[in-house]
Amino acid sequence: MFQVSMAEFVNDDVLEKILIGLDVKDLIRCKSVCKSWYSFITSPHFIYRHLNYSYNNELGHRRITSVTHSGFNCRFCHDHHHLVGSSNGLVCISSLRSELLVGNPFTREKIKLGSEGLEVSAIGLGCMGMSGGYGPAKPEDEMIKVIHHAINSGVTHLDTSDVYGPHTNEILVGKALKGVKREDVQLATKFGIKLGESMGIHGEPEYVRACCEASLKRLDVDYIDIYYIHRIDTKTPIEITMGELKKLVEEGKIKYIGLSEAGPATIRRAHAVHPITAVQLEWSLWTRDAEEEVIPTCRELGIGIVPFAPLGSGFFASGPKVMDNLADNDLRKIIPRLQGENFDHNKLVYERVSEMAQRKGCTPSQLALAWVLHQGDNVGPIPGTTKIENLNQNLGALGVMLTAQDMAELESMASFKGARMPEQILVHSYKNSDTPLLSSWKSE
């Protein structure tokens, strides 16, 4: 049994003696070390940059064979870490215990979406809030730093849309990508929503092409990785919209096609024209109605799932304080779930989630995000943030391991009241996404 006093710093040689021969899975599941040590030793940066291991396909073992010595600079905060012992004064690596886990998102630095070969980071970055939505737009230079920090931390799946700003969010993301190797990021944007006196939805072929060309220019890139139909145009057969998107794939302007807020029938019809790589939808402890039909349809067809707002528009991050000091143009001011009696009820749910998070040694937001991450290898949430510290906290969710019992407990307590969005937005949700039959279409 190798033990290290809490007063000692663990240098590279000692660390190597501790780690070599361990199964990576057991290291990740270790609950006996202190939080600061555990968070660093099980960070994606450490696992994938400093540990070399052999893999036994038959037994599923990944035994650590060597440790790369390079100063152990944490990718999350960029500081040099001296690792210390446990809170009770000892680090006893031999006392590792395994648990029956539902899944282990932590070992997945990348995940696959769809069947066409796209790989993205296990956690993405939703960029909408940088340019509005949740209050006024944030300073551009600060947001570029957040995006750079995300990429440097392994968060390479960046999500934007032409309607965010509008247009300014794509320009921001484009500026942030200057100097970044294009192949190192997976860039997603969307089209289909026109903002004016009312929310107009369009999917006509000429509109699709014009939007794509404009997004390429604003982003200043040669191609878009995932191009989503942001909302479904119920006046145009989905096959017509998909036909133009298929042409854009063939021309190399987009690589993969996605749908956002699409119902099962629309997903099937779209997928028959060209493989759909991902469906974006609101799916979290906060909102689970898509589990009835949309999620099963995606799984059946091998389509990736990209949950937006996995932290309930900041509810799991801030709890009751989420509504404090909001700007007049903050979307949360009109979300029914965050108003009046609904909010009073939902604050009680938050308290129960918070209590469980405390038992698990994580924050409520990490627990909520971990629940999403445990939904499968083809699920890649895109939590949004405008702060580096919040991004780091989101990454910490990768190290939160949940058992089947944990998952069931969370699901039993997550009974929220109120609509997830205001009616003027819900009217364009997946529940209202059926389009006319192709046979009825007459091109003007």
| Residues annotated as catalytic (active site), given as ranges | 164
Say how many C-beta atoms besides its own lie within 10 A of residue 337's C-beta: 20
Distance CA 124, CA 135 (A): 22
Q: Which helix (H) or strand (E) holds 254?
A: strand 254-260
Three-state SS at 379:
strand
Say how many C-beta atoms besides its own lie within 10 A of residue 109's C-beta: 16
Helical pair 238-250 and 264-273, crossing angle rounded to 10 deg: 40
Tokens of 338: 């965050």
Tokens of 361: 């040694």
Give every CB contact of residue 8 below 8 A, 6+ residues apart in sequence: 14, 84, 85
Identify whether the C-beta of residue 155 lies closer than 8 Å to the C-beta of residue 142: no
Identify whether the C-beta of residue 192 lies closer than 8 Å to the C-beta of residue 229: yes
Closest CA to 194 of 206, 211, 209: 211
Determine whether 63 is exposed, middle or buried from the number of CB atoms within 10 Å of its CB (0-12, 13-18, 19+). middle
Tokens of 64: 């650590």
Tokens of 33: 């070390």
Distance CA 65, CA 21 (A): 6
Q: Which amino acid is at 182?
A: R
In angstroms and rounded to an integer, the radius of gyration of the C-alpha atoms of the chain is 23
